[in-house]
Amino acid sequence: MSDSGYTLSRLIHDLKEFSVWARSPEPTGVYGLMAEFATPDDVVTAARAVRAAGYKKVDGYSPYPMESLIHELDQHHSWVPTIVLGGGITGFLAGYGLEYWSSVIAYPMNIGGRPFHSWVSFIPPAFETTVLFASFGAVLGMLALNGFPRPYHPVFNIEEFAKSASNDKFYLVIEAADPQFDGARTAELLKTLNPTFVKEIPA
């Protein structure tokens, strides 16, 4: 089990990377190098080797979620849970606030002698809004963190990828933006890892 503690310095580092990415000009030329693998074993082994060689901007592709691949690429951390927590808290406050405001301040009515602020009765709707907002947090958060909707991505320029990535093949992509990236040397490394092919991805 890797320790997935997310530190402040890592957050600052991520934010810096994000700002560099956001300000970077439209890419031209080569997006990166892609290697195709036939088995899950090969892609996991390759991911480990590539990471050991010091590459950082690496992404793996598999037709189903692979815990071991995510682990090798050190992509365990996700902001989704934090967003869900924020959504849940917002939902609770919004739901309970609405009930309190409408029943106590805007429209106080004596119904069966119950108090205006009937907190016990206010729990079910507030619970539902908590779940509702947290769920929207999970879905919208996941979509936003994955950069969706995204109509174009360079990896789909590789015909085999567009056909098989969602079916039965495994891929590893090293981006040209990686500081260690060197067309010939990186391709040499990938070719030693038992791929079915290594191709350059046009941006």
Partner 1 sequence: MDSGHSSSGTSSTMDSKYLPLPLVAPGHTNDSVTEKISHMTMEKETPRAWWLTFLIALGMAGGLGVAILGLLFVGIGLWGPNTPVGWGMDIINFVWWIGIGHAGTLISAILLLFKQKWRNSINRFAEAMTLAAVLCALQYPLFHTGRPWLAFYWLLPYPNTMSLWPNFRSPLIWDVFAVSTYGTVSLLFWYVGLIPDLGTLRDRAKNPIAKVLYGMASMGWRNSARHWSNYEKAYLLLAGLSTPLVLSVHTVVSFDFSVSLIPGWHATIFPPYFVAGAVFAGFAMVLNLAIPVRWIYRLEDVITMRHIENMAKVMLATGLIVAYGYFMEVFMAWYSGNFFEWFMMKNRAGGPYGWSYWLLILCNVVIPNTLWWKKARTNTIWLFIVSLFVGVGMWLERFVIIVTSLYRDFMPSSWGYYKATEFDWMFFMGTGGLFLTLMLLFVRFLPAIPMSEVKMILPGAEGRARR
Q: Which of residues 73-102 bind partner 1 (CB under 8 A)?
A: 73, 75-78, 80-81, 84, 95, 98-99, 102
Rule CB under 8 A: which of 53-72 touch partner 1?
59-72
Q: Which is nearer to partner 1, 17 or 128 (CB)?
A: 128
State the binding string over 176-195 for partner 1 (x if CB under 8 A, else -): --------------------
Half-sphere exposure of 21 (CA within 13 A, CB side): 11
User: Do the Cβ atoms of 4 and 162 come closer than 8 Å?
Assistant: no
Q: Least distance in Å: CB of 163 to partner 1?
A: 6
Q: Which of 14, 17, 97, 128 binds partner 1 (CB under 8 A)?
A: 128
Q: Which is nearer to partner 1, 16 or 117 (CB)?
A: 117
Q: Which is nearer to partner 1, 15 or 185 (CB)?
A: 15
40 lies in the binding site for partner 1 (CB under 8 A): yes
Q: How far, in Å, CA of 25 to CA of 143, rounded?
A: 24
Q: Which of 27, 30, 48, 92 binds partner 1 (CB under 8 A)?
A: 48
Q: Least distance in Å: CB of 186 to partner 1?
A: 19
